[in-house]
């Protein structure tokens, strides 16, 4: 009963932004995606939330610098399962222009597995919306399994 209900009435995921030492380019685009009426991400039922404990979808930007690594991992562990991780920009995947830097702990993959990747430096708001839409699919799959 609950499973059929979950299939027909998908819940609205809440999005949490996690800055893993990004240059703020992707963060600006993410804020744009949420705040400006032109790229309204809330049409997909998503909402940005301030607390990691409320989140379902995590948008990670930045190449996980050494300085924030432990803090980011602590916050990431606070997000309840099932969560979907979206890497925004090329930094979380490959390090982008910060690759091989002595302040960057590469690859970020060894700490945080990414479910959806939105390449770009930074990706345009529509691309982030596309990534969130893909994350919604992953999230529904996870909910059915759980």
Partner 1 sequence: MLPFLKIMVKNLLAGPSTDPFPFAPAHTPKRFRGRACHDKEKCILCGICRHVCAAGAIQLRVTEDGMAVHWVLWHNSCVFCGLCAHHCPTKALTMSDDWHMTHRGEERFDQREVSFVPYGQCSQCGARIHPRPESVVQQLGSRYPERFMMCPVCKRQELARRVTPAKPSITTGESDERDSA
- The residues binding partner 1 (CB under 8 A) are 37-40, 43-44, 85, 87, 90, 93-97, 99-100, 113-121, 123-124, 126-127, 129-131, 133-134, 138
Output the smallest distance, CB 29 to partner 1, in A: 12
Output the smallest distance, CB 98 to partner 1, in A: 9
| 3-state SS, residue 81 | coil
- List Cβ neighbours of 41 (8 Å cut-off, separation of 6 or more): 15, 33, 34, 48, 128, 129, 132
Which C-beta is closer to partner 1: that of 53 or that of 111?
A: 111
Output the smallest distance, CB 1 to partner 1, in A: 31
Output the smallest distance, CB 123 to partner 1, in A: 7
Q: Which residue has the tokens 């399962």?
A: 81
Which C-beta is closer to partner 1: that of 68 or that of 114?
A: 114
- Strand-pair partners of 17: 59
Which secondary-structure segment (H or E) carries 57? Answer: strand 57-61
Which C-beta is closer to partner 1: that of 66 or that of 133?
A: 133
Whole-angstrom CA distances from 51 to 40, 121, 145 are 21, 26, 25
Which C-beta is closer to partner 1: that of 3 or that of 38?
A: 38
Contact 124, 88 (CB under 8 A): no
């Amino acid at each position: 009963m609950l499973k059929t209900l979950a299939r027909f009435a998908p819940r609205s995921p809440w999005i949490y932004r996690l800055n893993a030492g990004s240059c703020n380019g992707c963060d600006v685009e993410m804020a744009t995606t949420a705040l400006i009426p032109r790229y309204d991400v809330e049409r997909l039922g998503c909402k940005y939330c301030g607390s990691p404990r409320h989140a379902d979808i995590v948008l990670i930007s930045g190449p996980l610098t050494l300085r924030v690594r432990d803090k980011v991992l602590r916050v990431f562990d606070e997000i309840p399962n099932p969560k979907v991780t979206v890497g925004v920009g090329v930094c979380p995947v490959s390090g982008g222009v910060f690759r091989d830097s002595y302040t960057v702990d590469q690859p970020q993959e060894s700490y945080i597995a990414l479910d959806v990747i939105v390449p770009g430096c930074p990706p345009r708001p529509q691309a982030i919306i596309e990534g969130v839409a893909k994350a919604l699919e992953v999230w529904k799959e996870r909910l059915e399994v759980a």
